[in-house]
Amino acid sequence: AQKITQTQPGMFVQEKEAVTLDCTYDTSDPSYGLFWYKQPSSGEMIFLIYQGSYDQQNATEGRYSLNFQKARKSANLVISASQLGDSAMYFCAMRGLSGSARQLTFGSGTQLTVLP
């Protein structure tokens, strides 16, 4: 079984500042992937970043980076230089890579608001 916990229902950040969104996970799968998705008010799910459990380096994609601490089972998303367009719901998710279903398990999300 897999579980994702996001303990911050809502976060505020000033424009141009960095923000960290927390995510902890639990799984018995020896191989897994961790994802972050953005869901703006329009409703679509936008893939942001991926981290494999065996990746040696933390993933980065533009202003997004994933602070992966395997021993602590955490996969926090760091957004640098926040922009007003970053205001959205952010979901952490994981997938076991050794099973057959490959489905994603999602956390409950963090609503990020960027203040001008």
Partner 1 sequence: NAGVTQTPKFRVLKTGQSMTLLCAQDMNHEYMYWYRQDPGMGLRLIHYSVGEGTTAKGEVPDGYNVSRLKKQNFLLGLESAAPSQTSVYFCASFRDGPYNEQFFGPGTRLTVL
CB contact set of 44 (below 8 Å; sequence gap of 6+): none
Cα 20 to Cα 36: distance, rounded to the nearest angstrom: 12
Stretch that binds partner 1, among 17-25, 63-71, 72-80, 87-95 (CB under 8 A): 87-95
Is residue 28 near partner 1 by the rule CB under 8 A? no
User: Residue 101's Cα: distance from chain center in Å?
Assistant: 21
Taking CA atoms, 64 is separated from 2, 27, 41, 61, 96, in Å, by: 24, 24, 20, 5, 23
Is residue 91 near partner 1 by the rule CB under 8 A? yes
Closest CB 16 distance from partner 1, rounded Å: 28
Is residue 78 near partner 1 by the rule CB under 8 A? no
Stretch that binds partner 1, among 15-23, 46-54, 63-71, 75-83 (CB under 8 A): 46-54
Is residue 65 near partner 1 by the rule CB under 8 A? no
- CB burial of residue 7 (10 Å; 0-12, 13-18, 19+): exposed
Which residues are near partner 1 by CB under 8 A? 4, 9, 33, 35, 43-45, 47, 50, 52, 91, 93, 95, 97, 100-109
